[in-house]
Amino acid sequence: MLQVIAELQTAGIGDVLANEPMAPYTTWKIGGPADALVIPHSKEQLQETIRLLARHGTPWFVIGRGSNLLVTDKGIRGVVLKLGPALDYIRFEGTGCVAGGACSFMKLSRRASKEGLTGLEFAGGIPGSVGGAVYMNAGAHGSDVSRVLKAAEILLPSGETAMLRNDELHYAYRHSVLHEDKGIVLEATFELAYGDRGEIAAAMAAYQDRRQRTQPLQLPCAGSVFRNPEGTFAAKLIEEAGLKGLRVGGAEVSAQHANFIVNTGAAKAADVLALIERVQATIRERTGISLVPEVLMAGER
């Protein structure tokens, strides 16, 4: 690994940080060190990094804005790639919208609203990046990425790029083909529609107000922890089980929203994992339903 880090630093492909703690890069503020964290300064540098890692057979993991992610206390072996400012951009072309993988999904939603374009209102409360949203088929308020995405440019493990159409991403609930076929979302193209600016703004304001009232935004968290089972809501099941406020170490089932686990100040990944397991066991025993985590988990166990 030391040789790989030395080559990365010599190649001048951006910021290369060895043994870098991951907690500052996640919205949960949890996570041990990565062997190396690389923040390329351009798409070309990112491609060069991927090719270098491929030559060495070095494992890699990509992050955007660090939401919807739990990094273990032991950290991540290999290289973590963080998408930086080079992939943080937005362009509008009529009803089409092109956004870089590192762009804030919420910012994209707000910009589309100002352009008088409808279709991304649901994204106004989703804290991740465009790349993460494409990867996860992020959604809220009855809509999701699959309904508005036209195509995405993907960086493959070989260092080559490919343009995948919506249908080629094989979207399902919080799932895309990128869960099986590894790749990095460099850019996404959305097809929106012209709408009434007042109605768009009103819908976004209502969603934002609901988010402020119902989500524990004052504490570090990662968004919804569990997927909603078919026909019901994870938060409803957890609340009905009386699990709001349940704590393991510094991790707590939010008293404000039962499908959020918050870091009360000193939570470890082990605390969050133990709490997830306790919630799953309780709900399974009470209802027979197996709650499936929505958050991604990375790192050495």
Mean pLDDT of 192-199: 95
Q: Packing angle between helix 197-214 and helix 105-114, nearest 10 degrees?
A: 150
pLDDT for res 172: 94
Looking at every residue in the chain, the average pLDDT score rounds to 95
Where does 217-298 sit in CATH, by number? 3.90.78.10
Catalytic residues: 174, 224, 294
The CATH architecture of the domain made up of 2-85 is 2-Layer Sandwich (3.30)
Instruction: Please list the alpha-helical segments (H only) found in the chain.
Output: 2-11, 43-56, 105-114, 130-136, 197-214, 234-240, 269-287
Mean pLDDT of 223-232: 94
Domain boundaries, the chain: 2-85, 88-213, 217-298
pLDDT tens digits, residue range 8-49? 999 888 999 999 999 999 999 999 999 999 999 999 999 999
Task: Quote the pTM value.
Answer: 0.91
Where does 88-213 sit in CATH, by number? 3.30.465.10
Asked if residue 225 lies in contact with residue 293, where contact means CB atoms within 8 angstroms, the answer is yes
